[in-house]
A and B are shown apart, each in its own frame.
Chain A
Amino acid sequence: MDTLTGSGARAAELAARDSYGRLLALLSAASQDVAAAEDALADAFEQAVRTWPGQGVPVAPDAWLLTVARNRLRDRWKSAEFRRTVVLDTDRDTPIHLDDLDVDAIPDRRLELMLVCAHPAIDRAMHTPLMLNTVLGFTAEQIGRAFSVPATTMATRLVRVKKRIRTTGIPFRLPDRDDLPPRMAAVLEAVYGAYVIDRTETGPEALHLAEVLAGLVPDDPEARGLAALVQLSAARAAARTGPDGRFVPLGEQDPQRWDRRLIGRAHEHLRAAHARGRLGRFQVEAAIQALHCTGAPDVRTLLNLHLILQDLAPSLGGGVALAAVTAEAEGPATGLARLDALLAETGEAASRFQPARATRAHLLARLDRRDEAMAEYDLAIALTADPAERAHLRDLRGRAGSAEG
């Protein structure tokens, strides 16, 4: 009763995505063939849509779907086409055998599926799209829009990469212990990739990957850290847009509009992560976000966290953020010096990096170097795609210019 229609529908969508991902992971592991598993599962869903309205929904819908899909895969294996095209000995080489599957106790093989999606033999650029497609069931069209790629192009890439999984024999099993840390790092990167894409197309559901992963490896502090990071950022999503559609920067956001439930969940993840005593990039990023969510973050603590982050995982974005925080803690001149040092070091790529230009403009404005600030705002505005943020930068440019006299 306490759930709003919106959150109820969202919960239903997530449950459907969870169930899709679990079934597909299991069928893929059994067939070593994602595309064949997808076809079989699609057939099962089709049959459900046809028969459930008349016969009623089965007591265990997932078990029903798995049984139908399993039969579809079996039919395929008996077909002549399969015998001609498949080199894999499914009796010998698969970690899961269809006949041994207990449909009443469906095991969760989504971690294995995520490891396949982020396998080193697969093009890095396809890790995140493949995960969104297989683990969460997003269509090529939705993923294409989120990555600003035509739907047909994304569909072709997905088909090609699934074929590659099959022909190269990428295994649906956990790697050996020595291989696990780098493989997990690639999985975390791919899940992080779902956090940075344009989610107007996939909705907040793309963020669910992080929660799925944290649930699969609850003892991995970085998976927990990543889930916390994603949730803390999502918690403030609504507050980022003002009533007039304008972009609202962090410092001016109304904390009342932050999602307390998500923030609470993120803190649970962070506590569990810290208990493992192994610090990593995502935990530090989440700690920075958590500090911002307190409303009035202590700038010294913030600066320290940014320094640790830039030490653990140096990045251009991290460097720009560090310069901005340095300006808060030690004054705009020190911040600008740090930023200019970073820009000199990184060169061309940095000059087209919007956050670098915008931060530099703010710092110049604060130092009252007006002409330079206005020119820098022009560069930042030219690099900004989001209309709300563009409007915000134009405001600031106007203020920087009119402060004269």
Chain B
Amino acid sequence: MRYAVLMHHQEPAEGELSDEVVAEAMRAFDIYAKALHEAGVLLAAEVLQPTEASSTVVNRDGAVRVQDGPFAATKEALAGLFLIDVPDLDAAISWAGKCPAAQWGTMEIRPVATSFLDGGWTR
């Protein structure tokens, strides 16, 4: 089954994290992503820019409206995602628990309902 493992956490303010802390986190993420890759379960890993870089778009009655800012302005924001392919929820939980962000944020596991692969939707 495909799962999106979503990282939610508070966004650090400008300059809040020291270079050492950032370097340490990057090292941890590198180890984590390589472990996912070596286990053959990683489909994609995306770390997102902070929500100040996000734009929201709606199309109502043919009119496209764009707004700055995230979809939901909450304390904890979507910060990145790992798309993995593992046999079941227990395997997904196990990987989510190993993600460095699980130590300071919250990991959300969402099963993928259907995927567009090789030019078509999976059943």
Residues of A near any B CB (own CB < 8 A): 83-84, 86-89, 92-93, 119-121, 167-171, 173, 175-176, 179
Complex Cα distance, B123 from A87, in Å, reads 6
Which residues of chain B are within 8 angstroms of A83 by Cβ–Cβ distance? Answer: 123
Pick from A87, A92, A120, A171: contact of B111, CB below 8 A. A87
Pick from B89, B91, B122, B123: contact of A168, CB below 8 A. B89
Complex Cα distance, B73 from A403, in Å, reads 68
B26 beta carbon closer than 8 Å to chain A: no
B43 beta carbon closer than 8 Å to chain A: no
Which residues of chain A are within 8 angstroms of B90 by Cβ–Cβ distance? Answer: 170-171, 173, 175-176, 179
Which residues of chain A are within 8 angstroms of B94 by Cβ–Cβ distance? Answer: 176, 179
Residues of B near any A CB (own CB < 8 A): 1-3, 87-94, 109, 111-114, 122-123
Which residues of chain A are within 8 angstroms of B3 by Cβ–Cβ distance? Answer: 169
Contact A87 B1 (CB under 8 A): yes
Contact B1 A121 (CB under 8 A): no
B40–chain A nearest beta-carbon distance, Å: 13
Q: Count the A-B residue pairs with Cβ separation under 8 angstroms: how many? A: 47
| A93-B1 contact given A87-B111, A169-B92, A170-B88, CB 8 Å threshold | yes
Complex Cα distance, B109 from A168, in Å, reads 9
| A87-B112 contact given A93-B1, A169-B1, CB 8 Å threshold | yes
Q: Which of B1, B111, B114 has the most CB of A within 10 A?
A: B1
Complex Cα distance, B41 from A93, in Å, reads 14
Which residues of chain A are within 8 angstroms of B89 by Cβ–Cβ distance? Answer: 119, 121, 168-171
Closest chain A residue to B90, Cβ basis? A171
Which residues of chain A are within 8 angstroms of B1 by Cβ–Cβ distance? Answer: 87-89, 93, 169
Complex Cα distance, B100 from A44, in Å, reads 49
12 contacting pairs across A/B (C-beta < 8 A): A83-B123, A87-B2, A87-B112, A87-B113, A88-B1, A93-B88, A119-B89, A120-B93, A168-B111, A169-B1, A170-B89, A175-B90
8 closest A-B pairs by beta carbon, nearest first, are: A171-B88, A169-B89, A169-B1, A83-B123, A169-B88, A170-B89, A93-B87, A168-B89
Interface of B is mostly: mixed
A28–chain B nearest beta-carbon distance, Å: 13
Closest chain B residue to A86, Cβ basis? B123
B102–chain A nearest beta-carbon distance, Å: 15
Complex Cα distance, B87 from A173, in Å, reads 11
Which residues of chain B are within 8 angstroms of A170 by Cβ–Cβ distance? Answer: 88-90
Given A87-B112, A167-B111, output 6 extra A-B contacts at Cβ < 8 Å. A86-B123, A87-B1, A89-B1, A169-B1, A169-B89, A171-B88
B65–chain A nearest beta-carbon distance, Å: 33
Complex Cα distance, B115 from A89, in Å, reads 13
Complex Cα distance, B38 from A359, in Å, reads 61
Pick from B111, B114, B122: contact of A169, CB below 8 A. B111
Which residues of chain B are within 8 angstroms of A169 by Cβ–Cβ distance? Answer: 1, 3, 87-89, 92, 111
Q: Which of A84, A89, A120, A168 has the most CB of B within 10 A?
A: A168
Closest chain B residue to A115, Cβ basis? B90
Closest chain B residue to A121, Cβ basis? B89
Complex Cα distance, B1 from A88, in Å, reads 6
Complex Cα distance, B112 from A16, in Å, reads 38
Which residues of chain B are within 8 angstroms of A89 by Cβ–Cβ distance? Answer: 1
Complex Cα distance, B87 from A176, in Å, reads 14
Closest chain A residue to B88, Cβ basis? A171
Closest chain B residue to A183, Cβ basis? B90
B95–chain A nearest beta-carbon distance, Å: 12
Complex Cα distance, B2 from A176, in Å, reads 20
Complex Cα distance, B93 from A179, in Å, reads 11
Which residues of chain A are within 8 angstroms of B123 by Cβ–Cβ distance? Answer: 83-84, 86-87
Complex Cα distance, B5 from A169, in Å, reads 14
Which residues of chain B are within 8 angstroms of A93 by Cβ–Cβ distance? Answer: 1, 87-88
Contact B87 A171 (CB under 8 A): yes
Which residues of chain A are within 8 angstroms of B122 by Cβ–Cβ distance? Answer: 87
Which residues of chain B are within 8 angstroms of A84 by Cβ–Cβ distance? Answer: 123
Which residues of chain A are within 8 angstroms of B91 by Cβ–Cβ distance? Answer: 171
Which residues of chain B are within 8 angstroms of A173 by Cβ–Cβ distance? Answer: 88, 90
Pick from B92, B93, B109, B114: contact of A87, CB below 8 A. B114
Complex Cα distance, B91 from A136, in Å, reads 28
B84–chain A nearest beta-carbon distance, Å: 12
Closest chain B residue to A171, Cβ basis? B88
Closest chain B residue to A82, Cβ basis? B123
Complex Cα distance, B53 from A247, in Å, reads 69
Which residues of chain A are within 8 angstroms of B88 by Cβ–Cβ distance? Answer: 93, 169-171, 173
B43–chain A nearest beta-carbon distance, Å: 14
Closest chain B residue to A120, Cβ basis? B93
Complex Cα distance, B96 from A121, in Å, reads 14
Which residues of chain A are within 8 angstroms of B2 by Cβ–Cβ distance? Answer: 87
Complex Cα distance, B89 from A173, in Å, reads 11
A34–chain B nearest beta-carbon distance, Å: 14
